[in-house]
Structure 1
Amino acid sequence: MAARYPDFQYLVDIVDSVIDSGADALLAGSTSMHDLMVVPRPVGAEVREMIAVRAPGSMRPGPAGQVRIEHLSSTGRNDCIDRPPSEAVPLFWRFVIEKYGIRPPLRPNCSDLTK
């Protein structure tokens, strides 16, 4: 989708950052009308909270030219921040760390393996 519609690239960047960091073992994701919905693993029978990364054309869009990331909670203490797409990945991790207490596992990069 992002290859055809570059406005979706920040969603790919977020997914890539989860996979590259090894956090795919800690987070589960799905899409809903292009929005990216993320919950901590293991996923129980009932989901009580989730982080939603709103896509262009979302039913709950942010301001034009901005990415909206929301924490949706069964307690009603929802949180929402809009930022430029260039800040999507750090903003996503801020939400994951603050809301779920999950930090991505540290993985050595390729240059570390050659030392």
Structure 2
Amino acid sequence: MGEVPAPQTGWTFLTNHARVLAAIASNQRTRIRDIAAHCRLTERAVQKIISDLEADGYLTHDREGRSNAYKIQPGTILRHPAEADLTVAELLSLLVQHDARRSEETSRTS
């Protein structure tokens, strides 16, 4: 099992909800344990965030054996009035592009 990174201190630009949603977008069959490690959160915090996202219609899940398969609702509008014209899909597109560039850079330097 991988070591969990130290938690972030201080404020950040992205919320934990956005981080969890981005982690699910990159692997819709990911485990809560893996999301927690990636986002530097506890498993309990990730469960709460997933519950929040499902309650507000951003995310659904289906049980597949002992695992969950998550489905993001891409047309859902972001909650804050300043981003009321931005969809989840548009936000995730930006984050996925960033992660892809970072992965490419890591591959070249390894």
- Common fold, TM-score beyond 0.5? no
The structure where strand makes up a greater share of residues is 1
The structure where helix makes up a greater share of residues is 2
